[in-house]
A and B are shown apart, each in its own frame.
Chain A
């Protein structure tokens, strides 16, 4: 009797497990997308749009947008790749620096063949190269932008000065507006890559090239001049020790008259600025002859994904890069995108028009062809950050410090 019971029980259990798996397979296929932006203003709405549209176009597919805090994002994703539990689609934050290590480790799928059949191959800007490594595309770039100049117009009006349009006016304005516990300018002054990024914005903006013909060019007079300008403003006319959040908050609170930031910060202004300040905050054209730019937001597919997941993940990527979704991105996030010709929503407003124009001829801070920098980004950024810290602390002449940087990078075998 006992044996018969065990046999029947086993059969029933097996049958119910099989039926359960068949039913669940028929009901829904999960497509997980990891991002750090699921709660960000603008982007959270875009995720809803693409999620609904994709689920409608693919019945039986359940898109799960999984949010991971930006500070934990790279660590979490890397750990998941190592453990073999990657999501279906990886949202790559900063392709220039995040992608090479993941591509080298074999975590990402080559999508060359898939791109070849789409207009991404023909229409996408050169910055799609940020999603490639050693000639292979490992995903699709969604956003490239130019940095924009955030200004508090009331502070300028009260001081009786115009918004600066060049480096000399920038320095003069920063000096004039630094008074009564308010500051003319804000830089990121912490130990992250944002510290280095803010300094490189000055270098690119003044037309400096810190690498040339495959060699370091840090002692070039334009580079030295740009870093000197950054140092003078950072030392004398900016609050000290501001991390990226404190820098932005100081501007939102009306304690800082100017800052340079990426355009995705603009949607935050309405929500984060003080009510009596928000109306005074606007965007202006960069006071440099060159608009420094950057790339962000790429979609990649993990190497470990099964055939069905890859098919769906690529369909999702194509949908994200489609004119409709890119247009929706522009409208909701107020950011330029990689797809050309869909930024009309930005041209309707005096502030967002600056965002659109800045993206047109922006030059990325770290050119995609600087393979040495991209591959050894941690070592490179540590050396550069240390040097910039020495300069900002006023411990050495800019030219000498940059010459020392060049020597140390060469000694470590790091080339651009």
Chain B
């Protein structure tokens, strides 16, 4: 007790002697220690949840055992073989091209829909708030609910879509959306677009609302029609937001697994075998954890390089 009182007294004296010196005036070493102590619990948690699985994934990808107990895997020899195996397999490149098509297809259509709905919702009209809520609804629907709904909608013989097509005379026989290799990719893009376009709507609507109305009034006085206004005012103002939204959406879609697996399992004939599906099938159908891990690491690298490249490009655009 005495010691504590003495320390407090000394501290108090010091404070009295140098009243100007505030907390930020502490030496860097003291400040870092305090900051590190505050950060430690959350850092440890993030480390456990994020870094440990990643490190484990990296280790497994370099081990010569395809499947085994983790203790056995850790003891196994180091090898580059899994990476060679994955990279020399044409199925990997096929999956990459399917992923590319899936991302491009779903992102472009969803972006178009999102932009259109954002432009509409940016206008003033009756029940605007209600329509904003309704248009954003697909984003709030849980993935599993959307999956089940679309599986039934697209069911060839008993589904609503084919029923409508038959009734309208647009189809003479049942179209097997998920079972026909020529249609399956489009069939999985369709629900993905439905699920993701509200994200673009939200992002672009927020961007649209930052544009001053005066710009449009001035353009209108100058004789610019709607198309010109969009070209010279709207698009330049929302372009940065649009690109960020596209990148975020692409990353989201790249890892999409649930709907594709539930509807096609990567088939038919590999038509929907995206990278995410291929990793899963390698691990739990072919029981080749090592190759699945190697492909997982490569995917991580591809995404990281793409994002870094995008950030650098974006910074250059900003500097212009």
Residues of A within 8 A of B (CB): 74-75, 78, 81-84, 101, 104-107, 183, 189-192, 239-242, 246, 250, 255, 303-304, 378-379, 385-386, 389-390, 392-393
A152 CB to closest chain B CB (Å) equals 17
Is there contact, CB below 8 Å, between B70 and A83? Answer: yes
Is there contact, CB below 8 Å, between A389 and B181? Answer: yes
Is there contact, CB below 8 Å, between A191 and B286? Answer: no
Is there contact, CB below 8 Å, between A107 and B69? Answer: yes
Is there contact, CB below 8 Å, between B289 and A191? Answer: no
Tell me, yes or no, whether B268 is within 8 Å of chain A by CB.
yes
Is there contact, CB below 8 Å, between A241 and B179? Answer: yes
B88 CB to closest chain A CB (Å) equals 14
CA distance A192 to B73 in the complex (A): 30
CA distance A303 to B7 in the complex (A): 61
Contact residues in A for B180 (Cβ distance below 8 Å): 393
Contact residues in B for A190 (Cβ distance below 8 Å): 178-179, 265
B24 CB to closest chain A CB (Å) equals 36
Is there contact, CB below 8 Å, between B67 and A191? Answer: no
Partner of B176, one of A74, A104, A189, A192: A189
Most buried by A among B72, B179, B181: B179
Is there contact, CB below 8 Å, between B287 and A82? Answer: no
Is there contact, CB below 8 Å, between A105 and B181? Answer: no
CA distance A189 to B156 in the complex (A): 10
Is there contact, CB below 8 Å, between A82 and B281? Answer: no
B183 CB to closest chain A CB (Å) equals 10
Is there contact, CB below 8 Å, between A240 and B270? Answer: no
Is there contact, CB below 8 Å, between B67 and A101? Answer: yes
Partner of B287, one of A83, A101, A191, A386: A101
Is there contact, CB below 8 Å, between B158 and A386? Answer: no
Tally the A-B contacts, defined by beta carbons under 8 Å.
93
Contact residues in B for A241 (Cβ distance below 8 Å): 154-157, 174, 176-179
Is there contact, CB below 8 Å, between A82 and B179? Answer: no
Tell me, yes or no, whether B191 is within 8 Å of chain A by CB.
no
Provide the B248-270 mask, 1 if CB < 8 A to any CB of A, else 0.
00000000000000001111111
Residues of B within 8 A of A (CB): 66-73, 154-158, 174, 176-181, 264-270, 280-281, 283-287, 289
A128 CB to closest chain B CB (Å) equals 23
- With A183-B157, A390-B269 known, 14 other A-B pairs at CB within 8 A are A84-B71, A105-B69, A106-B72, A190-B265, A191-B179, A191-B268, A239-B157, A239-B158, A241-B174, A304-B69, A378-B287, A386-B270, A389-B268, A393-B181
Is there contact, CB below 8 Å, between B267 and A378? Answer: no
B74 CB to closest chain A CB (Å) equals 11
Is there contact, CB below 8 Å, between A105 and B269? Answer: no
Is there contact, CB below 8 Å, between A105 and B67? Answer: yes
Is there contact, CB below 8 Å, between B157 and A82? Answer: no
CA distance A191 to B281 in the complex (A): 13
Is there contact, CB below 8 Å, between B158 and A192? Answer: no
A101 CB to closest chain B CB (Å) equals 4
CA distance A241 to B177 in the complex (A): 8
Is there contact, CB below 8 Å, between B174 and A240? Answer: yes
Is there contact, CB below 8 Å, between B70 and A84? Answer: yes
Contact residues in A for B280 (Cβ distance below 8 Å): 75
Contact residues in B for A75 (Cβ distance below 8 Å): 280, 283-284
Partner of B69, one of A74, A84, A191, A250: A84
Is there contact, CB below 8 Å, between A82 and B67? Answer: yes
Contact residues in A for B281 (Cβ distance below 8 Å): 378
23 interchain pairs, CB-CB under 8 A: A75-B284, A78-B284, A82-B70, A82-B73, A84-B69, A101-B67, A105-B287, A189-B179, A190-B265, A191-B178, A191-B265, A191-B267, A239-B156, A239-B157, A240-B157, A240-B174, A240-B176, A241-B154, A241-B179, A255-B158, A304-B69, A386-B267, A389-B267
B295 CB to closest chain A CB (Å) equals 15
A395, closest chain B residue (CB): B181
A407 CB to closest chain B CB (Å) equals 16
A226 CB to closest chain B CB (Å) equals 21
A167 CB to closest chain B CB (Å) equals 24
B175, closest chain A residue (CB): A240
Contact residues in A for B270 (Cβ distance below 8 Å): 386
Is there contact, CB below 8 Å, between A106 and B176? Answer: no
Is there contact, CB below 8 Å, between A74 and B284? Answer: yes
